[in-house]
Amino acid sequence: MKLCLLLIISLFVVLTDGAQPKKCFDQITGYCRKQCKPGEISEVDCANEKLCCVNEEEKKNLRESSPT
C-alpha cells in the first residue's frame, strides 16, 4: 500500500514539473513554446526548435523605460 502511494505521489510530481514551460529571456519573463500565445512575440530561440515567447506589453514597457 505504501509503495502504491509513493508511486502516485512521484508520478504527480513528475507530471506537474513537465507541464510547465521552461523559462527563457533575462530581462522579461518569457516561456519556451512551440507557438506563442496571442499578445506574445518571439524574442529568441529556445532549445528543441521552440520559441521564447514574451509578453508584447512588457517588452514595450521595458524598451520605453531603458535608456538608449
Q: How would residue 67 be classed by pLDDT, with cut points 50, 70 and 90?
A: low
> Residue 25 half-sphere exposure, CB side, CA atoms within 13 Å?
21
Q: Which residues contact 29 (CB under 8 A, 6 or more apart)?
A: 23, 54, 55, 58
68 pLDDT higher than 60:
no
Model pLDDT, residue 17: 47
Asked if 41 contacts 53 with a C-beta cutoff of 8 angstroms, the reply is yes
What cell numbers appear for 50 in the block? 521552440
| Tens-digit pLDDT profile for residues 6-48 | 777 766 665 444 566 677 877 778 888 889 999 998 878 887 7
Query: Which pTM was predicted?
Result: 0.58
Model pLDDT, residue 50: 87
- Domain ranges in the chain are 22-68
